[in-house]
Chain A
Amino acid sequence: MVGSAIKHEESSMNAPVTLRQVEAPATATAIKVRAEGVNVHYGDKHALKDVSVEIPERGVMAFIGPSGCGKTTFLRCINRMNDVIPIATVTGKILIDGSDINDRRVDVVELRARVGMVFQKPNPFPKSIFENVVYGPRIHGLAKTKAEFEEIVASSLTRAGLFEEVKDRLHDSGTGLSGGQQQRLCIARAIAVEPEIILMDEPCSALDPIATARIEELIDELKSDYTIVIVTHNMQQAARVSQRTAFFHLGNLVEEAPTEVIFNNPKDRRTQDYITGRFG
């Protein structure tokens, strides 16, 4: 499934990410994120009910479930994006590498530098491709000289499988790219900050099948370096890209297991009904 062209680019730029290029088996056992009894209320609405789950390091975990089941809400808890919504209240514990991100001493700016996010609709900044990628590194002071920024741009775009397509027009607008390219630009933008976790909120729902396939290839490559959590409506996608899958329904985490177990041998009746297409 992985395109040979991408493989080639990959090998040509291994310098800036050497630290993370230790190959980890897909069944890594280290726990990156541990949620304990997480509840989210939007005003009176109880959107997420007592969710506890463990997300293993380096690999892809998919959140599936019908619309409004709380999967995106939970995803947004992991980088505290729900802080932006005034009526949202989050309770419970979310531990990343063992420390609670909801602790008052945690700087949300630092947290979000460690936990990147890719959104449902590609949202590049209305600036050049170059500016899109360097924005994160610049605000976090990850580079100083122009050469360093250029290197970050090249390596991030290469990792996101976009460099070859845009290397001659880095100073053109990021919004002039196609939808799939925009989404890969957003992934490059997130990678440029060197996060540990990448959250993806239905990253392919606005893309055509070919662009979707490119993103899925990309996710497959990135999982050796990053912990990826992906929300998807598309069950085939969850089956293709993830090692573990969590099924959400009406704000509850119904079932979480290795992906093949969820799809072939689910324990809960609701999971079974959903994956066989009886609702959702």
Chain B
Amino acid sequence: MTAIGAQDLAVPRRRGARRVGARHRREAVFKVVGLLATLIGLVALAALFVDLAAHGLQRLSWDFFVNFPSRFASRAGILSAWVGSLLVILVTAAVGVPLGVAAGIYLEEYARKNLLTNIIEINISNLAGVPSIVYGLLALGLFVYGLGTGRSIFTAGFTLALLILPIIVVATREAIRAVPQALREGALALGATKWQVTRDHVLPAALPGVLTGVIIGVSRALGETAPLITIGALTFIAFLPTPPISTEPPFLSFQWLWDGFTVLPIQAFNWISRPGVDFHANAAAACLVLLLLTLGLNAVAIYLRYRLRKRLQW
């Protein structure tokens, strides 16, 4: 009796078990592949960080942050570079984010969906893939020679703003598209105008996604070197831009917009191209600072995004 019972059960179970086993194996294989893919990215970043730290950590000191570049590697610092990077990014964000978000809103909420908007959409996506040197050449022709804005922070900020514009436009559109139509209809049915719907409901709901685009864009701009060299960023600079605040009226000054500048990646590139291990250590330290600056800015944006998501309360 028991033997027959076991036989009856054994056949179908073994067949079924084999199929299920194969499915589980595939599941396990993907888990491993996915883990490897994730690790490769993480390990690369970690290796980079460790390598930079090994070379550059010794140079990180208060003096390194408050000194100007120097002929002597041990006295050289990154004051003009990190101030330049921050000011350029400030201009980039101030120009790029409002323009990009406004364009994204217009294309998604206002523009009629037709051939023209399709062409615009494809072109904006393509712009995100244009090499940054091309933006440098455009800026050289348009800003430096055409509009005469000089080799200034202003020019650099606008150039990088153009560079990150498509990223922000695309992120804004994606974020707006993810806002449920029911939310718009709810507000419209109360008699809200399109602008009120956009300002009061769509934009707040889309803001976390928009911020993601801003994070990606600003991080990219922070590391850009080629377009800034093209427009003529200085590589050795031993002065700071005009301070934005002064003790004399009118107290606020925007003169710094027109000053020459350098940025961290250019400073690092300058040092790495010099002979001598000491300068290479400086370059590693500068890159470390750049990396930390990027992580820091991202952390702020990610925190903001977290706060906004929590406030949104779906």
Report B172-223 residues with CB < 8 Å from chain A CB.
180, 182-193, 196, 200-201, 204-205
- Taken together as a complex, chains A and B put the C-alpha atoms of A126 and B190 apart, in Å, by 16
- Taken together as a complex, chains A and B put the C-alpha atoms of A187 and B204 apart, in Å, by 23
A267 to chain B, nearest CB (A): 34
Asked if B113 and A81 make an inter-chain contact with CB atoms under 8 angstroms apart, the answer reads no
Asked if B182 and A175 make an inter-chain contact with CB atoms under 8 angstroms apart, the answer reads no
| Chain A residues near B314 (CB-CB < 8 A) | 126, 175
| Chain A residues near B38 (CB-CB < 8 A) | none
Asked if A123 and B186 make an inter-chain contact with CB atoms under 8 angstroms apart, the answer reads yes
Report if A125-B201 is in contact (Cβ < 8 Å); known contacts: A84-B185, A119-B185.
yes
A212 on the B face (CB < 8 A)? no
Asked if A136 and B191 make an inter-chain contact with CB atoms under 8 angstroms apart, the answer reads yes
**Among B196, B201, B313, which residue has the most Cβ atoms of chain A within 10 A?**
B313
| Among all A-B residue pairs, the 8 with the closest Cβ atoms | A173-B313, A117-B189, A113-B191, A112-B191, A123-B182, A136-B190, A123-B186, A109-B191
- Taken together as a complex, chains A and B put the C-alpha atoms of A237 and B275 apart, in Å, by 86
Report A120-138 residues with CB < 8 Å from chain B CB.
121, 123-127, 135-136
Q: Can you show 23 pairs from A to B with CB atoms below 8 A apart?
A: A81-B185, A81-B189, A86-B112, A111-B191, A112-B189, A112-B191, A116-B189, A117-B189, A119-B189, A123-B180, A123-B185, A125-B186, A125-B201, A126-B183, A135-B192, A136-B191, A139-B190, A139-B192, A139-B200, A175-B313, A189-B190, A190-B190, A193-B190
A110 on the B face (CB < 8 A)? yes
Main SS at interface, chain B? helix
| Chain A residues near B134 (CB-CB < 8 A) | none
Report if A113-B190 is in contact (Cβ < 8 Å); known contacts: A86-B112, A126-B312, A135-B200.
yes
Size of chain B's interface in residues, with CB distance under 8 A?
23
| Chain A residues near B185 (CB-CB < 8 A) | 81, 84, 119, 123
Which residue from B186, B191, B205 sits with its C-beta under 8 Å from A139?
B191
| Chain A residues near B183 (CB-CB < 8 A) | 123, 125-126
Please encode chain A, from 218 to 236, with 1 for each CB lying within 8 Å of some chain B CB and 0 for all others.
0000000000000000000
Chain B interface residues (CB < 8 Å from chain A)? 112-113, 180, 182-193, 196, 200-201, 204-205, 312-314
- Taken together as a complex, chains A and B put the C-alpha atoms of A116 and B187 apart, in Å, by 11
Closest to A137 in B: B190
- Taken together as a complex, chains A and B put the C-alpha atoms of A216 and B187 apart, in Å, by 24
Report if A121-B182 is in contact (Cβ < 8 Å); known contacts: A86-B112, A173-B313.
yes
Asked if A109 and B113 make an inter-chain contact with CB atoms under 8 angstroms apart, the answer reads no
Size of chain A's interface in residues, with CB distance under 8 A?
29
A53 to chain B, nearest CB (A): 21
B116 to chain A, nearest CB (A): 15
Asked if B187 and A135 make an inter-chain contact with CB atoms under 8 angstroms apart, the answer reads yes
- Taken together as a complex, chains A and B put the C-alpha atoms of A175 and B112 apart, in Å, by 32
- Taken together as a complex, chains A and B put the C-alpha atoms of A190 and B313 apart, in Å, by 21
Chain A interface residues (CB < 8 Å from chain B)? 79, 81, 84, 86, 109-113, 116-117, 119, 121, 123-127, 135-136, 139-140, 173, 175-176, 186, 189-190, 193
Report if A190-B189 is in contact (Cβ < 8 Å); known contacts: A119-B182, A123-B182, A175-B314.
yes
Asked if A116 and B190 make an inter-chain contact with CB atoms under 8 angstroms apart, the answer reads yes
A109-B193, A123-B180, A123-B183 given; 6 more Cβ-contact pairs under 8 Å: A84-B188, A119-B185, A135-B190, A139-B191, A189-B190, A193-B190
B68 to chain A, nearest CB (A): 50
- Taken together as a complex, chains A and B put the C-alpha atoms of A176 and B185 apart, in Å, by 20
Asked if A186 and B186 make an inter-chain contact with CB atoms under 8 angstroms apart, the answer reads yes
- Taken together as a complex, chains A and B put the C-alpha atoms of A190 and B193 apart, in Å, by 16
Closest to A113 in B: B191
| Chain A residues near B201 (CB-CB < 8 A) | 125
- Taken together as a complex, chains A and B put the C-alpha atoms of A110 and B205 apart, in Å, by 26
Closest to B114 in A: A86
- Taken together as a complex, chains A and B put the C-alpha atoms of A68 and B192 apart, in Å, by 28
- Taken together as a complex, chains A and B put the C-alpha atoms of A193 and B186 apart, in Å, by 13
**Among B112, B185, B205, B314, which residue has the most Cβ atoms of chain A within 10 A?**
B185
Closest to B190 in A: A136
A116 to chain B, nearest CB (A): 7
Closest to B196 in A: A139
B210 to chain A, nearest CB (A): 16
Asked if B313 and A176 make an inter-chain contact with CB atoms under 8 angstroms apart, the answer reads yes
Report if A110-B191 is in contact (Cβ < 8 Å); known contacts: A86-B113, A139-B196.
yes
- Taken together as a complex, chains A and B put the C-alpha atoms of A113 and B184 apart, in Å, by 15
A183 to chain B, nearest CB (A): 12
Closest to B181 in A: A84
| Chain A residues near B182 (CB-CB < 8 A) | 119, 121, 123
Which residue from B186, B192, B196, B200 sits with its C-beta under 8 Å from A119?
B186
| Chain B residues near A123 (CB-CB < 8 A) | 180, 182-183, 185-186
Closest to A127 in B: B313
| Chain A residues near B192 (CB-CB < 8 A) | 109, 135, 139
| Chain A residues near B200 (CB-CB < 8 A) | 135, 139
